[in-house]
Amino acid sequence: MNVLITGAHGTVGTAITDNLGDDDRFEFTLLDVAAPDGAYEGEPPGDVVTADVTEYDELRPHFEGQDAVVHLALIPGTGGADARDIPWDDAQSDNLEALHNVAAACEDADVDSFVFASSNHAVGLVEVTNTPDVYHDQGIVAGHDEPHRPDSTYGLTKSYGEDLGRFLAEVHDVRFYGLRIGAVRDPEYDHPYGDAEAGVEEGRWDRGSEEYDEMVARMKGLWQSRRDLAQLVECCLTDETVEWDHYFGVSANERRWLDDLAYARETIGYDPVDNGETWDAPPE
C-alpha cells in the first residue's frame, strides 16, 4: 500500500513511521514543507518530498499512485487551544485552504482513503466546562456520538475538516477517518507525566506542585502513546469497510473522558495496549 503523509516530520508523523516504517505492507512518501532536520535516526523510512500544502499545484503530483493519504500538516498560528475569541488571520485561511487542497487532490488522484489528524479540541468544550472534575474520573465522558463542541479556532478548523471529510466520502467515494487525537508527544515525553515534566524543565511549576499534579491527572486521561497512535492509523489504513467515521485517539486510559474505544474495537479493530494509570511516576 502506498501511503502519503503530509506534515510527516512532526511529532505525530514520526510516531507513525517509528512504528510502521519497517512494515512491508506500507510504502511511505513523507511530505513536508522542508527536508527533515533530525527527525529520524538514520535514513528516513520512505521517500522524502517537499511541498507547500497551501499550493495545490505543488501538492498534487505527490498524490499520484497513492492508495491512502494521512493529513497531519498544520500551518502554525491558528489560535491556541485556550483562545476563546473568533479571529480571522492568514494561518486560519491557510489551514482551511490546505484541507481543501488535500481533499481535492485525493478525489482527483483516485486515492482510496483519507486519514485526517483531527483533535480532541473538536469536542473540547466538554473538558473546558467540566474542569477539573473531568480529570478525576467523575463520570464525565464524550462518547462517539458527541456532537462537535469546538473550544477554540483550532478546534473549529478540526471540526470543519471532519465535515469536509464526510462530504468527500459521501459525494466522491473516498473513505474518510477523522482521528480526534488526545495527546501524542515526542519520544522523551511519551508518558502521562510528559507535559508535567516539560513544565518543570521550562520553569512553569515545581515537581509535586498542585499545577504539576493537575497536569498529570489531565494527561492520564488524554494521553495516547506513540505506538497506540500508530496502531490506530494502521487500523484505518487496512480497513475496507468504513465509508466515513471518527475515532478518539487515546490509549486505554482508565480515566479517559474521550470514550469510544468499544466502538473503535468493533468497527476497525483498534485495541490500544497502554494505560496512563499504570504510571505512578515519570521515568528516571
Give the pLDDT confidence score for residue 255 in this predicted structure: 93
Residue 266: which domain range?
Answer: 2-190+224-278
pLDDT (tens digit, 9 = 90+) per residue, 98-120?
999 999 999 999 999 999 999 99
Give the pLDDT confidence score for residue 36 in this predicted structure: 87
Rounded Cα–Cα distance for residues 267 and 244 (Å): 11
- Residue 268 CA, distance from chain mean position: 17
Q: Is residue 124 within 8 Å of residue 83, measured between CB atoms?
A: no
Cis link prior to 132 (omega < 30° from 0)? Answer: yes
Give the pLDDT confidence score for residue 104 in this predicted structure: 98
Domain annotation covers residue 47? yes
* Mean pLDDT of the residues in the chain: 95
Whether 33 shows a pLDDT value over 80: the answer reads: yes
pLDDT (tens digit, 9 = 90+) per residue, 198-244?
999 999 999 999 999 999 999 999 999 999 999 999 999 999 999 99
- CATH number of the domain within which 163 lies: 3.40.50.720
Rounded Cα–Cα distance for residues 95 and 78 (Å): 8
Domain annotation covers residue 211? no
Residue 60: all three cell numbers together = 498534487
Give the pLDDT confidence score for residue 204 in this predicted structure: 96
Give the pLDDT confidence score for residue 40 in this predicted structure: 87
Give the pLDDT confidence score for residue 176 in this predicted structure: 98
Mean pLDDT of 27-44: 90
Rounded Cα–Cα distance for residues 94 and 283 (Å): 39
Whether 85 shows a pLDDT value over 90: the answer reads: no
Domain annotation covers residue 65? yes
The structural domain count of the chain equals 1
Domain annotation covers residue 31? yes
